[in-house]
Amino acid sequence: MNAARKKKLMMVLLILGVISVVTALVLYALRQNISLFYSPTQIARGEAPTYHAIRVGGMVVSGSVLRDAKDLSVHFAVTDYSHTLVIMYKGILPDLFRERQGIVAEGMLLDDHQFIATSVLAKHDENYMPPEVKDALARAEKEKVKPRL
Amino acid sequence: MIAEIGLFSLVLALLFAILLVAVPTWGLLVEKPRLINAARVYVCGQFLFVAISYCCLTACFLNDDFTVIYVLTNSSLTLPWFYKLCAVWGGHEGSMLLWVAILSVWMLAVNFFSRELERAIRIRVLVVLGALSVGFILFLLATSNPFLRQFQLLKSTGRDLNPLLQDPGFLFHPPMLYMGYVGFSVAFAFAIAALWLGRVEASWAKWTRPWTLAAWCCLTAGITLGSWWAYRELGWGGWWFWDPVENASFMPWLVGTALLHSLMVSEKRQQLMAWTLLLAISAFSLSLVGTFLVRSGVLTSVHAFAVDPSRGLYILIFLLVVIGGSLLLFAARAQTLQNQRRLAVVSRASALLLNSVFLGVAMLTVLMGTVYPLLIDGLGLGKLSVGAPYFNTVFIPLMIPVFILMGVGVHLHWQGDSPRRLFARLNKEIVLSFILPALLLMVLEKKINAGVYLGLVLAAWVLLSSARVFWTRVKQRGMRDIGPSFIGMVMAHCGMAVTMIGIAVSSGYGLQDDVKMAPGSHAMLAGYTIEFISESVLTGPNYHGSRARFLIHNAHHHAEIFPEKRIYDVGQMAMTDSAIDVTPFRDIYIALGEPLDDDAWSVRLYYKPFVRWIWGGGFLIVMGGLCALSHRRYYTHKKPLPSLEAPTL
Amino acid sequence: MKKNLWRMVPFLIFMVLALFFWRGLSLDPHEVPSAQVGKALPAFKLPTLESDKIFTPAVLRGHVVLLNVWASWCAACTEEQIFLMELAQKGVVIYGLDYKDHPNDAKAWLEEWGNPYRSIGSDRDGKVSIDLGVYGAPETFLIDKTGVIRYRHVGVLTKEIWAREFLMRIKHWEAQA
């Protein structure tokens, strides 16, 4: 193999090496950091993993928002009109958080009806519901029409 | 009346754009110079009528003409006049009109500044730009007409501009971004023109470079402004969220940077032609992909425009035609280009190539993270989101080789160099890069955060290496003959280092605290005492709310700031207007959360050291780019050199 | 030859991406199947916004009508108001359900944004909306002459959706007794 060929081979190997390292990094990072969304119904059915970073959401149940007197702990319930989930959070709720609005929360599930949130998300337009929540609500309704056997 | 004139002008602009595409192309086929040269007239015509159309829309806003639906939904009687000017691009339709207007401006500039360019290329560039204009103006007229009227609601006061957009930063951020996105279309047009023609002049890179540089400066400025604006406006101390809309602007920037460096190689050494062409096509393609992602509703984002599937479909078809077509053209024709000289393994040319490879890969990882939710949803595997941790995990390691190369590349010779010689020359700088940050951190913070240390080492490396190369150059040529390109490069690289310092320190040593505070109470943060002094009622032109008075003090410092909670009258949307106590070396940031019972508020306090350096660095990068752009050689041209025709395979 | 294959790679990557974009467009988040479709309106009795009359399902009987859920605090409702005004002018019968709103705010909003409604029920605590399964505002129900819900649209009502989903259904249910 002459010198020019060798250089080219080295170049190709280097690029392939970089690409494989990066691909591995990407796959690893994706697996660690994607969070699947679960609706209250799915959680009630036990489909969601506990003690694992996931997202949940639903409509905030009116009258369910309770704030602690001393610190910034708060808990509230979300529903997809089929099942309800209690979310516990410590911190400042976003401006668009309101009862009977759709929200999404990130955090960890403790059991089939309690969730500890690390962050609570609401969207810009107060009438725009997060699509995951909309989808979950639609599914819950479909289930009501065709009950699970 | 004015709205009708605006619409009519837009139609005329479309006509001129069509003529721009059809007539010179026909002229090239039948070789009639008169038809070919008519391109000049058509470019001017298009510009004129697009400008008229844009001015008409602006006039409708200033006149509060609520019979125009777009004005009704994006403005209000109580909106201050300068925000009315911005409201023109506050919604989808108007922002597309701005896009078209900026495209016409770039076309006019290309037409004006390219007199010396060989006609075969110049005309093709204008034709390609004309074709893009046709696509965009058609899109406007077919799906996004800003001049639609309504006569039902006559007593409305207007729906008002989204409050988050009512901010000075918003005055400049979108136009800057669009100047960048659209500016890359010029480099794109140059690439397509060269592929169309079937040959690449030796001067091709020289001609493309200033346009790319100008667009890149605008995009850098736009991204920097956007980040600064998000920090101030979104209330939660963040300045980058890896949100799809942000990624949509960042990806073209990454490729644009790679393109800039690759053009350097192509110009000086006539190497890497195919790679440069591909980058030129990709930069603008990413601008288009970004537009699609943001406006089609395919991805949900904090600041995506209103969803309309017909728009999404049109843009997708447009993408297929433009990007698919150009990539096919590239695959077919790129073989007619060959490198004149081989690339030495250790040389400035190969360092630049490696740099653009890393930037390209970084762009691909960002693209992957941005569209991954779409892929998964499309495969029916569920609804997931890819958060900041993914991007940070993947992107940050990629920046390490980029920064290393930044310091190394400027010291390498173009033809070939040896690693040993390089090391010998720079061993002091390498050692200092490790020692100085360690010393600084130990003295100032008494503990070393690994991530911050790494960032500072990289930044120090770039700064020291740049200082060294600057010093060498001054010794060689004296202060007067350094050259604006060189100064620009040094400034831009130093700007990157400054931004890196800002990011590293603010992320590593920043502090945050959520507390419950009532007037009269205080909290401690980073050695400062923060007192909530009082709260008062707030009324503004189109909002009302509460205004709080906070005092921040320690032994050397004493300042009062006023965070607000606003509720905008139209839409009853609550908004946090946080207050920041700014000094060059740290920010103290206070955001009001929600009102709690008994007078108290939930309050978020931030201590952000060196955060201003992030945007200071961005500013430095833009200045560097502008400096390089001022080089005389872009404004004086000699006759074109013989073309670079290689024997076909 | 080999070089040519490399050059096709960017094109191929793009086509794969475009494929997923295409699929993404058809994943329309506005498709919401509704359990109420085919059922009669639940019984309700609400005060009207404009007078002392009472708002009940009986008010809606006799025509194919739209029941539009809206509120003065709903920014998106302003978007469809122009279109609703157009429809009202063309003779479409529209009733309103004012959702979790203060009557004074609602009246002021109508003053500004126009009133296409024959009558408006004031659902201050939202109980009737819960019975209807309303997610939020705006929503529009299509109700036939006998008071059975025949279609439901969640979100802003646009010309396209009207043409695509409502027109045929209205024609069909008008033709029924």
Compare CB distances from C135 to A62, A125, A137 and report the shortest one's residue: A137
pLDDT of residue C34: 61
The alpha carbon of residue C43 is apart from the nearest alpha carbon of chain B, in Å, by 31
pLDDT of residue A130: 64
C166 within 8 A of C158, measured Cβ to Cβ = no
Query: What is the CATH topology of the domain spanning A37-145?
Result: OB fold (Dihydrolipoamide Acetyltransferase, E2P) (2.40.50)
- The reply to whether residue B303 touches residue A124, judged by beta carbons under 8 angstroms, is yes
Distances (CA, A) of B374 to A138, B370, B418, C139: 20, 8, 46, 27
User: Looking at the complex, does the CB of residue C76 fall below 8 Å from at least one CB of chain A?
Assistant: yes
Burial C77-95 (b: 16+ CB within 10 A, else e): bbbbbbbbbbbbeeebbbb
User: Looking at the complex, does the CB of residue C160 fall below 8 Å from at least one CB of chain B?
Assistant: yes
The SS3 of residue C120 is strand
B517 within 8 A of B534, measured Cβ to Cβ = no
pLDDT of residue B337: 61
Tell the burial category of B62 from Cβ atoms under 10 Å away from its Cβ (0-12, 13-18, 19+).
middle
Closest alpha carbon within chain C to A138: C32
- Domain extent listing, chain A: 1-34, 37-145
- The reply to whether residue A125 touches residue C75, judged by beta carbons under 8 angstroms, is yes
In the structure encoding, which two tokens stand for residue B421, read together? 């010689």
Instruction: Give residues 31 to 60 of C whose Cβ lies within 8 Å of B.
Output: none
pTM for this model (two decimals)? 0.85
More confident residue, B186 or A82: B186
pLDDT of residue B278: 92
Closest alpha carbon within chain C to B162: C75
Identify the CATH assignment for C27-175 out of 3.40.30.10, 3.40.50.1100, 3.40.605.10, 3.40.710.10.
3.40.30.10
- The reply to whether residue C29 touches residue A126, judged by beta carbons under 8 angstroms, is no
pLDDT of residue B304: 45
Distance CA B489, CA B284 (A): 23
pLDDT of residue B425: 81
- The reply to whether residue C75 touches residue B159, judged by beta carbons under 8 angstroms, is yes
Residue C40: closest CA among C57, C62, C65, C64? C57
Distance CA C36, CA B598 (A): 43
Share of chain A above pLDDT 90, in %: 5
Instruction: Give residues 567 to 596 of B whose Cβ lies within 8 Å of C.
Output: 570-573
pLDDT digits (tens, 9 = 90+) for C125-172: 878 887 887 777 788 999 988 888 888 887 788 888 888 888 888 888
pLDDT of residue B268: 83
- The reply to whether residue B323 touches residue C81, judged by beta carbons under 8 angstroms, is no
- The reply to whether residue B361 touches residue A71, judged by beta carbons under 8 angstroms, is no
Share of chain C above pLDDT 70, in %: 90
B641 within 8 A of B203, measured Cβ to Cβ = yes
Q: Is this prediction's ipTM beyond 0.85? A: no
pLDDT of residue A42: 86
DSSP string, C129-146: HHHHT--SSSEEEEE-TT
Residues of C in contact with A81 (CB under 8 A): 133
Distances (CA, A) of A38 to A43, A49, A50, A59, C159: 7, 10, 12, 13, 34
pLDDT digits (tens, 9 = 90+) for C7-49: 788 888 888 888 888 877 765 544 455 666 778 888 888 888 8
User: CB neighbours (10 Å) of residue B144?
Assistant: 23
More confident residue, C3 or B611: B611
Q: Which long-range contacts (CB under 8 A, 24 or more apart) does C160-165 make?
A: C160/B310, C162/C83, C162/C87
Residue C73 phi/psi, 5-degree rounding, is -90, 0
- The reply to whether residue A34 touches residue B386, judged by beta carbons under 8 angstroms, is yes
- Domain extent listing, chain C: 27-175
The alpha carbon of residue C176 is apart from the nearest alpha carbon of chain A, in Å, by 26
The alpha carbon of residue B641 is apart from the nearest alpha carbon of chain A, in Å, by 30
Report chain B (649 residues): mean pLDDT per 10 consecutive residues. Answer: 93 95 90 86 95 95 90 86 88 91 95 85 93 94 89 75 74 88 95 88 86 96 91 80 88 96 86 88 92 70 53 85 91 69 76 90 90 77 76 90 91 79 84 88 79 92 92 86 89 96 91 88 89 89 87 89 84 79 90 83 90 95 94 66 41
DSSP string, B40-98: HHHHHHHHHHHHHHHHHHHHHHHTT-TTBHHHHHH--TTS-HHHHHHHTTSSHHHHHHH
pLDDT of residue C120: 92
Residues of B in contact with A68 (CB under 8 A): none
Distance CA B417, CA B413 (A): 6
- The reply to whether residue B345 touches residue A19, judged by beta carbons under 8 angstroms, is no
- The reply to whether residue A138 touches residue C76, judged by beta carbons under 8 angstroms, is no
